[in-house]
Chain A
Amino acid sequence: MQSQILHFPAKEAMIIGQQTGDRTISNRLADTADSLQGAAERSNALDSGHRACQGCGEALGARHAIDTALDTTDGELVVVNATGCLEVFSTPYPQSAWRTPWIHSLFGNAAAVASGVAQSFRIQGKENVRVIAQGGDGGTTDIGMGCLSGMFERNEDVLYICYNNEAYMNTGVQRSSQTPGAARTATTMPVGEHPGNRFGTGKSVPKIAMAHGIPYVATANIANPRDLEAKVRKAMSIRGARYIEVFVPCPLGWGTASCDTIKVARQALNCGLTPLYEAEYGEITAVNKIAPSETVGAYLKSQRRFAHVFKRGNEHQLEAIQAIADANIRAFDLVESK
């Protein structure tokens, strides 16, 4: 196995000063890389040469997550992948980009396949081998929901990571249950009385996961890689069913510049639309505070899928999205009180 064995103290990494805070990949003031993604020895579990689009958020999220899991398990890791962009761009025969045991079965069954893998290793007495299932929002929250729920309620020893880019990107950007209100997709075009996706639809799978009472649920965002790493580490320190949903922009599907992937993710984070939190056994245990430095408008403006929101007559759409952000800020108490 080529995975390097590295142990970084997750969030406890010493931040000597405030130069870069804990927002950059590494704190330059620390003598050695204080995050795995800043380490020269990171595994690069998802290798170069994969065929993800330029600026792919999912590719990035997956490498961050799987590298971290490899680190926490000394490389004793198996990855189960749902059908989707991540699967297609990483393993077109004869070029696999995965440097870890990896299996893809179907679109909707990653959670069940992973359950089987976990049980298989358990019964073989190899409980040191840990299992991650991963997929996009379509494979996870729509077609994979049954298997996912089963995995949760059986409390299988699997960490399921959903890379949420809010639509079916692999098939050409169709609406999923994670597509936000007003967003344009190929199946929610900006025409008619309610341009883009309807408001009042969709679901929160982290909350559904919490309702299963599983040991650990977290939301993460590729714009906060240290937090993502810490959450994967935390998840890997726990046995039983765990769920992490990582917010990953899709330049192609969202109509953003390929260079703006992190920027857009950060805007979403800082305007309150994508709260970051952790929950254990159904109860929220931590919420990442935000400094609301970005407006919902700025976030939407970066993306062509929301272009119609700024047309005359659609002001109510912007207001509706702002209301969602405001509701999040209230519900999760997102803003640091001074």
Chain B
Amino acid sequence: MLKQIDGSYAVGEAVALCRPQVVSCYPITPQTHIVESLGKLVKSGELADCSFMNMESEFGAMSACIGSSAAGSRTYTATSSQGMLFMSEAVYNASGMGLPIVMTVGNRAVGSPINIWNDHSDAMSVRDAGWIQLFVENNQQAIDVHIQAFRLAESLGLPVMVNMDGFILTHAYVRVDMPEQEQVDKFLPVFKPFQKLDPQSPITMGALVGPEAFTEVRMLAHSRMERALELIPAQAEEFANIFGRNAGGLVQKHYDDETGVEAETVLVTMGSVIGTAKEVITEMREMGESVNAVTLRTYRPFPAQALREAVIGAKRVVVLEKSFTPGMGGIVYQDVLAALNGTGIEVQSVIAGLGGRPVTRKSIRTLFAGCDERSNGHGFEVLDLDNTTMDRELAREASVLDRII
């Protein structure tokens, strides 16, 4: 059913179609509207047989999810930014216990300085937590990927994080095709946990594991991640068959090139920025420039093989990301660089859109224009950096810090 709807509400409705049994909520911008919408659906009865829990913190919210999922209920929550960091201890715990929780992250910068706007710092802060991390490009995909996320989580026994850019998607009022309940029910079977807290068949969950088996437990988690690399495309295909729509899988290559004639420069991105980028790339391709774009719809597990296949033949890959690790540079870039190691493809790192700074068409054009000057494999470039401010503040810092040295 087509409808014009706020991104958060669209996700809320999509999640509701998945019949979650427990939704734990704690407000944080820009995610709040998602759980608000679910709260409303539960209260109105449109989402029946669901417990909506108003928790005391994100830590509590994720903890409640752990309990709920361990007790065998389909469980959902959402968070952003500081909330993710506040719950991060529980985030690790959920995946360690193999609990198929689905969480939406309305991606937002992490302070200080406090900043409510979009970038991917929150998702990156837990990229090693053992969760499957999916990034969506637009609100239709947000809907579709949430439905797939429950299926994926429950068929693996791993939690899934669906990342959507805060404000840019969560607050975008756009037309989407909302699936029908029957379609969702057909795609997503009733939750049957692999193990659960059950007095009829008691288990011990969350035991202490020492050096004798801890490594093996981590490797077992890794093997589940590897299974995800196979399951994601398979389920995406199944989804497409039922819903008549492709919502992407591991990676998405945006333009078809003639077989064997790969574009010279491929832009690799995650999330919504591809929307703007595609406007520029489409123009450039029409002007005859050899450019293409690939998005990583799956970030954890990292789809190294799929990425290589998507960019093989290119001369260079430019990784444009909204995350940054001070003292190092791009974060996604590291993963891409490692994935393309040995292919001979040059990998460039470009940072943009931190703390909500718009990535404009002009920014993208600048990115492509700078490809020949950028170093290969080292360093990074920051788009739209305000050099006036930087020069002034660096000078001021130098006046203080140099004295100390």
Direct contact of A and B (CB under 8 A): yes
Residue numbers of A with Cβ under 8 A of B are 1, 3, 75-78, 80-81, 87-88, 91-94, 96, 98-106, 108-109, 111-124, 129, 146-147, 149-150, 153-154
Point out the residue from B71, B209, B210 that lies within 8 Å of A120, measured CB to CB: B71
Most A CB contacts (10 A, CB to CB) among B55, B75, B210 go to B55
B208-A78 in contact (CB<8A)? no
Q: Which residue of B lies closest to A115 (CB)?
A: B64
A76-B21 in contact (CB<8A)? no
Most B CB contacts (10 A, CB to CB) among A76, A91, A103 go to A103
Q: Which residue of B lies closest to A147 (CB)?
A: B60
Q: Which residue of B lies closest to A133 (CB)?
A: B67
A and B contact pairs by CB, cutoff 8 A, 24 listed? A78-B71, A91-B204, A92-B208, A93-B207, A93-B210, A98-B202, A99-B202, A102-B204, A105-B66, A106-B89, A109-B66, A109-B90, A112-B63, A113-B67, A114-B67, A116-B69, A116-B70, A117-B70, A119-B22, A119-B73, A120-B68, A120-B72, A124-B72, A147-B59
A91 surroundings in chain B (CB, below 8 A): 204, 206-208
Point out the residue from B90, B199, B212 that lies within 8 Å of A77, measured CB to CB: B199
A286 to chain B, nearest CB (A): 30
A114 surroundings in chain B (CB, below 8 A): 67
Contact status of A96 and B204, CB under 8 A, knowing A103-B67, A112-B67, A150-B60: yes
Q: List the 10 closest pairs (A to B, CB-CB), nearest first.
A: A116-B67, A150-B56, A112-B63, A116-B64, A120-B71, A109-B63, A104-B206, A116-B68, A113-B67, A96-B204
Contact of B197 with A by CB under 8 A? yes
B63-A101 in contact (CB<8A)? no
Point out the residue from A94, A100, A115, A146 that lies within 8 Å of B67, measured CB to CB: A115
B54 to chain A, nearest CB (A): 7
Q: In the docked arrangement, what's the CA distance between A113 and B69, Å?
A: 10
Contact status of A123 and B51, CB under 8 A, knowing A103-B70, A113-B64, A116-B75: yes
B22-A150 in contact (CB<8A)? no
Q: Name the interface residues of B203-220: CB closer than 8 Å to any CB of A.
A: 203-210, 212-213
Q: Which residue of A lies closest to B49 (CB)?
A: A123
B205-A104 in contact (CB<8A)? yes
B202-A123 in contact (CB<8A)? no
A46 to chain B, nearest CB (A): 12
Contact of B24 with A by CB under 8 A? yes
B208-A123 in contact (CB<8A)? no
A241 to chain B, nearest CB (A): 13
B63-A113 in contact (CB<8A)? yes
Point out the residue from B59, B201, B205 that lies within 8 Å of A103, measured CB to CB: B205
A104 surroundings in chain B (CB, below 8 A): 205-207
Give me 9 other A-B pairs in contact (C-beta within 8 A), A98-B202, A104-B206 excluded: A76-B199, A105-B66, A106-B63, A112-B60, A113-B63, A115-B60, A116-B68, A117-B68, A117-B71
B90 surroundings in chain A (CB, below 8 A): 105-106, 109
B65-A116 in contact (CB<8A)? yes
B57 surroundings in chain A (CB, below 8 A): 146-147, 150
A119-B53 in contact (CB<8A)? yes
Contact status of A75 and B68, CB under 8 A, knowing A96-B204, A124-B73: no
Contact of B252 with A by CB under 8 A? no
B64 surroundings in chain A (CB, below 8 A): 112-113, 115-116, 119
A98 to chain B, nearest CB (A): 5
Contact of B93 with A by CB under 8 A? yes
Contact of B372 with A by CB under 8 A? no
Q: In the docked arrangement, what's the CA distance between A3 and B61, Å?
A: 32
Q: In the docked arrangement, what's the CA distance between A81 and B205, Å?
A: 10
Q: In the docked arrangement, what's the CA distance between A195 and B167, Å?
A: 56
A146-B68 in contact (CB<8A)? no
Contact status of A116 and B208, CB under 8 A, knowing A100-B202, A106-B93, A123-B49: no
Q: Which residue of B lies closest to A78 (CB)?
A: B197
A130 to chain B, nearest CB (A): 9
B93 surroundings in chain A (CB, below 8 A): 105-106
Q: In the docked arrangement, what's the CA distance between A104 and B203, Å?
A: 11
Q: In the docked arrangement, what's the CA distance between A28 and B210, Å?
A: 45
Q: In the docked arrangement, what's the CA distance between A92 and B207, Å?
A: 6
A81 to chain B, nearest CB (A): 8
Q: In the docked arrangement, what's the CA distance between A115 and B90, Å?
A: 15
Q: In the docked arrangement, what's the CA distance between A322 and B59, Å?
A: 40
